[in-house]
């Protein structure tokens, strides 16, 4: 890839991030970090601050932020395909995918809340050093990062609609 192609790609990405939904998509990378500061979604060590036993909240946050960053780059890299297929039906399809992603993210968050509120000792007799807590930490990581990844996907898809619409109008 030549230098001019890299600069062109960078300019397009910055142009995408300058749209309203692109800004929200970019900011959504920081949502997991802001959650650590504001503690809206419980993410702490068991039993006092949350449900995690073996993973630290910082590890979960970093993995989640990487997933959100990947979602943005992955969807942006598909813009040429989306642009080639761009029409009214494609725009409506992306809107539907965005709405589905948003509500699936909310459902995943509700499942996460359900999992962290379970009394594993009362239900299964697990002690604090039981090995199944490793599995539960992985489940918490999956649901926590899936929530943020799906919300990021919803914003990026809306951003792509605006970005591609503006590009198509400019042609």
Sequence spans of domains, the chain: 3-170
CB-count exposure of residue 71 (10 Å: 0-12, 13-18, 19+): buried
| pTM reported for the whole predicted model | 0.82
Q: Tell me: the pLDDT tens digits for 92-104?
A: 999 999 999 999 9
Task: Report pLDDT digits (tens) over 105-154.
Answer: 999 999 988 887 776 656 666 666 667 777 888 888 899 899 999 999 99
Q: Three-class SS of residue 62? A: helix
């Amino acid at each position: 890839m030549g230098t001019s192609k890299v600069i062109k790609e960078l300019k397009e990405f910055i142009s995408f991030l300058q749209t309203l939904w692109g800004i929200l998509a970019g900011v959504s990378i920081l949502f997991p970090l802001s959650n650590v500061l504001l503690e809206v979604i419980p993410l702490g060590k068991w039993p006092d601050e949350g449900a995690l036993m073996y993973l630290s909240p910082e590890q979960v946050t970093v993995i989640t932020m990487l997933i959100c960053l990947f979602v943005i780059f992955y969807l942006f890299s598909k813009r040429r395909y989306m642009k080639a297929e761009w029409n009214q039906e494609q725009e409506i399809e992306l809107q539907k995918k965005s709405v589905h992603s948003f509500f699936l993210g909310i459902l995943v968050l509700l499942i996460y809340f359900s999992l962290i509120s379970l009394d594993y000792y009362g239900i299964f007799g697990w002690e604090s050093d039981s090995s199944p807590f490793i599995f539960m930490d992985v489940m918490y990581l999956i649901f926590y990062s899936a929530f943020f990844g799906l919300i990021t996907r919803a914003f990026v898809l809306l951003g792509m609609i605006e970005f591609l619409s503006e590009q198509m109008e400019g042609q």
